[in-house]
Amino acid sequence: MNFLKSNYKNIIFSLLILGVGFGVGYYMKKKPSSRFASEAPVAEWKTSILKDTEGKSVRPAELPGNLFVVYFGFSHCPDMCPMALNDIENAFISLKDDSKDITPIFITIDPERDTPEVLRKYISHFPGKELIALTGGKDQIGELQKGFGVFSQKTQVPQGNGEYGMDHTLFIYLVDRTGNILRAYPTGIKGEELAKEIRELL
């Protein structure tokens, strides 16, 4: 009898844990993770002088648009960066005409390899709403990363040959013209979900 009671309790406990797990999973699917990331504007958004894919000097704050979808990555990224850029592209497809004052921006964390020419070829693989890609000096990029709280570092790759990878922060940022980070989402958010979140800010 005690054995049955004990097993009955174990079964009930297991079902409760399983139910909580399904509930959390369902919630995460229904409501993407987000966080309000800054209490003050990122000063470097206005002061950083970077280069676009034509080699022209630009300040992020002077780019067209009232809302910016910003991602820090690098062109040699094998998986997470293309995933994020595809999700951003799908978000703009979902937004349709609502995206007219919104600008997607890709900022390299690997200026050593990501020249304007390299980035111009790279973003041609994402032919949705015109994606702006920016590179610049190592110090300028580094200061802008600090302003956003973006971490990055070189990593070794198995094949060697002088090649390297980059570990880096995997967030998509929604930024206003003055440099306020309004929200941030982890890479993996679906385009439709991102579009819904963006519409809440319009």
- The response to whether 81 counts as a known ligand-binding position is yes
| 76 has binding-site annotation | no
Strands 67-73 and 57-58 turn out to be unpaired
Q: Is 151 helix (H, G, I), strand (E, B) or coil?
A: coil
For 50, which DSSP code? E
Counting beta carbons within 10 angstroms of the beta carbon of residue 104, is it exposed (0 to 12), middle (13 to 18) or buried (19 or more)?
buried
- Between the CA atoms of 116, 122, 127 and 128, what dihedral angle is there, to the nearest 10 degrees? -80
Sheet harboring 132-134: ordered strands across?
A: 132-134, 102-108, 67-73, 171-176, 181-186
Nearest to 91 by CA among 76, 78, 110, 104: 104
Residue 168 marked ligand-binding: yes
d(CA 45, CA 25): 36
Measured CA to CA, the distance from residue 93 to residue 98 in angstroms comes to: 10
Q: Which residue ranges are tagged as binding site for Cu cation?
A: 77, 81, 168
Q: Which residue ranges are tagged as binding site?
A: 77, 81, 168
